[in-house]
Chains A and B, each alone.
Chain A
Amino acid sequence: MTALWCALPALAVILVWVAFQDAIILRLITDHLPSGVRDLPRNELSLVLNDVRNLVAGNVPEASVSEAVRAASAEYVHLRGISRMALTVLVMVMAVGTILVVRSRITPELRARNRVEIVVEWLLIGCSTIAVFTTIGIVASVAFEAFRFFQHISPIDFLFGTSWSPQMAIRADQVGSSGSFGAVPLFAGTALISFIAMLIAVPIGLYSAIYLAEYAHPRFRTWAKPLLEVLAGVPTVVYGFFAALTIGPALRGWGEGLGLNVASESALAAGFVMGIMIIPFVSSLADDMISAVPQSLRDGAYALGATRSETIKQVVLRAALPGIVGGVLLAVSRAIGETMIVVMAAGLAANLTANPLEAVTTVTVQIVTLLVGDQEFDSPKTLAAFALGLVLFLVTLALNVLALHIVRKYREQYE
């Protein structure tokens, strides 16, 4: 307990100190900068301060920066030294102080263990709430940036506009300066690719699950099921590479053979590979659901003279239907949120079409292309990514909640 009392307040001080040290030092330096530099607008000032920090970290040669920056960085190092000394002294004093206080409190009557356990329990509670804070963090951060985006672009234009070209002018006199942020082509592209993926994944996944759960010899099952799961364990970049390297060009080649014009980044290629990736999700969930159907239902059907396939089609699948639908919804949400495959295998240009042979783009592709590379936090271009992220989060959240609700309802039915 003494150790706890010694460590906790000191640790708290260190955390607070480290969190604010940089800001305070930078403020001090800013005040000491030559007045010409200090009066710069905010963003240029932050550039100067970045120079200072880079110089301190040794990232840039000393000769390449101005005199003011060099002086400021020397001061930075100096202040940082002072700050570290002060921190060490303060922490030592606090630690020793709390030890002394707590020592004097230790008596035979003190229930030290109980007190420590209370602290531990609060620690556990703290850890378990991280999940909640993560959700709050996601909603708050994404919604906040999205809100700033909607101050530039109206939500109606964003959700129902049909033209997407997120180029914003850097200079006012640039040609083609106004971007348009109608996200309908992205939603349509996402839906198209997800639909193709589900066309592949649902039949194959469902039939595999039926075979594994109802027909397969246990020995076949023990090695076939893990092998199917391997498909889910392969990183999605690998699928993306596979789609871009093999499937895309192959489809293009076949298309030419048939006299069709297939884009090499066609929705079909991305959807097809995504479907393969999703097979194990569908199959393992459907497998669980089919196995959860009570044997008595099957026995009843057999007793009426039904064959196995008739039993499966007319009894087992019907009984398992809600669970399977829940599983498929989860798979859809996975397809919508999948990023790497579409980034590597689908197109970049927004294209409002239902033709699977053309290149379309998706919500996730646009988030990646908008945010990778140089970014400023106040241009509508990068903020648009957060608005798209908000839509993505809300849609997948709704699908997940619905699916989990259905699955849970279904499980309760047979338990």
Chain B
Amino acid sequence: MSNTNKPRRTAQETQAIVTASLRRRYWAERRFRTYGLAAIVAALTFLVYLFFVIFSNGMGAFRQSELKLDIYYDPAVIDPAGTRNPDDLHAADYQALIRAALKKKFPDVEGRAGTRELTRLVSGSAAFELQREVVKDPNLIGTTRSEWLLASDAVDLLQKGHIERALPEAERPVSDQQLGWVDRLRSEGSLDLKFNKTFLSKGDSREPEAAGIWGAVVGSFFTLALTLLLSFPIGVAAAVYLEEFARRNRWTDLIEVNINNLAAVPSIVFGLLGLAVFIGFFGLPRSAPLVGAMVLTLLTLPTIIIASRAALKSVPPSIREAALGMGASKIQMVTHHVIPLALPGMLTGTIIGMARALGESAPLLMIGMVAFIVDIPKGVTDASTVLPVQVFLWSDSPERGFVEKTSGAIIVLLAFLVVMNTTAVILRKKFERRW
């Protein structure tokens, strides 16, 4: 189009040039639009794929292989002296009961190696389960009961189809012999997938089949509850001061800039702060939800303050003027009128901040909430871990069984996040008010 700038061109010529270029321009238009749509589709595809991977890996974690064995609670093994002394009951060799029951089921197995192979079908934690039952009810001793026991990791993986049967024996975690036993048990109906109570009610464990998320859930609960208790009042108070009381001057400007910057500081830096100040300087206990909550409070405060200020801003000035006109003091005006009206907005912001805190793990790594903890924490100063950190810990474990557990824990974490965010959305929809 070298002649576009020539002055003498008739309207028809211009018309022709434009018409000729239209096809190309409309084509470019359509292409541009498709790029936009493709970008959204790509992003959403990642999202769907992510969820697909997590769910397809993790649903198995909610079911667990269990073996049915006729356990004879042999008095000669558990309590040879017949004293029913709880200490003796604790110390007895419950593994022997399982071994005996397995031997009865498979009488043709001989030799030490064979027996060892056989006992590997059952999880190492099954003996503790028997121990707990006996200590709870010593009358069991001397009776025979059929018990569903946790199967071992390898059997569980086999049952769920994660182990290729066609592989050569050396390359799979179950031997040919074990494969035969498993098939026999299955055909008898003594090996089955059951709902995994262990996963939802126990603490961490080195054995995938005995590991549960309850400890992490309780740790998360303590941490979040304390974070909420600390950050909500402080955040609201700060927002009220900045929005309702503070005059605009250098000091309040400084505070504002600070809040905006803190909102974008990497979370791991807050972890460094927690480590150096709360643990190093104040000497608070490591790995405790208390310290975790303090760090997460600092982390979520900017979010809560920003959301609360927006909520306060949306309350119309006429309300304030009316209250002041009736003779209310400034504090009365704020506490009786402005805060109640802004509360839904503040709560929404707080819930979103809490959801962020629930998914946060990097700063908690810094303050030592990554320890391997079997016990369920009982208070805010007990060593504990939280759900996302549990996910991190399990994802590092070499055992194949933990992949499933990790995904299962992620599903639980995501479920909590969905509930929290939905609450926030519903709250916003329900109390949203247009002035």
Contacts and interface: CB of A to CB of B under 8 A. Distances in A.
Given A204-B42, A276-B43, A130 B238 contact: yes
A15 interface: no
B265 interface: yes
Contacts of A210: 36
A212 B391 CA distance: 34
A400 B264 contact: yes
A211 B266 contact: no
B318 interface: no
Nearest to A228: B43
A165 interface: no
B280 interface: yes
A29 to B, nearest CB: 16
A145 B329 CA distance: 47
B113 to A, nearest CB: 35
Contact of B329 (A113, A131, A244): A113
B266 A396 contact: yes
A337 B266 contact: yes
A386 B39 contact: no
Given A237-B388, A279-B43, A142 B329 contact: no
Contacts of B32: 309, 312-313
Contacts of A238: 50, 54, 359, 391, 410, 413-414
A236 B361 contact: yes
B144 interface: no
B57 interface: yes
B37 interface: yes
Given A124-B245, A141-B277, A368 B305 contact: no
A127 B234 contact: yes
Contacts of A337: 265-269
Interface string B211-247: 0000000000000000000000111011011100110
B36 A207 contact: yes
26 contacts: A121-B241, A121-B331, A123-B237, A130-B238, A134-B301, A138-B270, A138-B273, A203-B39, A204-B43, A206-B39, A212-B40, A227-B44, A231-B46, A234-B417, A236-B362, A238-B359, A246-B53, A280-B43, A305-B18, A307-B25, A308-B29, A334-B266, A343-B392, A364-B362, A386-B276, A400-B261
B266 A128 contact: no
B435 interface: no
B20 interface: no
Interface in B381-407: 388-389, 391-392, 395-396, 403, 406-407
Contact of A386 (B36, B235, B272, B417): B272
Contacts of B40: 207-208, 211-212, 224, 228
Given A131-B259, A238-B413, A245-B403, A389 B269 contact: yes
Interface of A: 22, 113-114, 117, 120-121, 123-125, 127-132, 134-135, 137-138, 141-142, 144-145, 203-208, 210-212, 214-215, 224, 227-228, 230-231, 233-242, 244-246, 276, 279-280, 283, 305, 307-310, 312-313, 330, 333-334, 336-340, 343-344, 364, 367-368, 371-372, 377, 385-386, 389, 392-393, 396-397, 400-401, 404
B269 A128 contact: no
A211 B392 CA distance: 36
Contacts of B162: none
Contact of B266 (A117, A237, A364, A386): A364
B388 A389 contact: no
Contacts of B240: 124
A340 B242 contact: no
Contact of A215 (B36, B260, B417): B36
B298 interface: yes
B362 A129 contact: no
B144 to A, nearest CB: 37
A310 B25 contact: yes
A135 B361 contact: no
Nearest to A403: B264
Contact of B47 (A230, A371, A393): A230
A392 B266 contact: yes
* Secondary structure call for the B interface: helix
Interface in B332-382: 355, 358-362, 365-366, 368, 370
Given A129-B255, A337-B267, A377-B280, A224 B44 contact: yes
Given A127-B234, A131-B301, A244-B395, 6 more contacts: A134-B273, A138-B270, A138-B272, A276-B46, A276-B50, A340-B361
Contacts of A310: 25, 28-29
B272 A135 contact: no
Contact of B268 (A245, A276, A313, A392): A392
Nearest to B391: A237
* Secondary structure call for the A interface: helix
Contacts of A214: 36
B269 A135 contact: no
Contacts of B329: 113-114, 117
A142 B272 contact: yes
Interface string B154-193: 0000000000000000000000000000000000000000
Interface string B245-263: 1100000001101111110
A343 B268 CA distance: 12
Given A233-B421, A308-B29, A371-B366, A330 B264 contact: yes
Given A141-B272, A279-B43, A393-B269, A134 B262 contact: yes
Given A208-B39, A208-B40, A339-B268, A131 B359 contact: no
Nearest to A118: B331
Contacts of A334: 264, 266
A364 B391 CA distance: 19
Given A134-B262, A404-B261, A241 B28 contact: no
Contacts of A233: 355, 359, 417, 421
Contact of B413 (A131, A145, A235, A393): A235
B38 interface: yes
Contact of B39 (A128, A204, A330): A204
A132 B50 contact: no
Contacts of B268: 337, 339, 364, 367-368, 389, 392
Nearest to B411: A238
Given A127-B241, A131-B258, A367-B272, A235 B360 contact: yes
A163 B35 CA distance: 43
A17 to B, nearest CB: 15
Contacts of B265: 138, 337, 393, 396-397, 400
User: Would you list the 7 A-B pairs with minimal beta carbon distance, nearest first?
Assistant: A337-B266, A211-B36, A235-B359, A207-B39, A141-B276, A127-B237, A124-B241
B18, B365, B407: which has the most chain A beta carbons within 10 Å? B365
B238 A242 contact: no
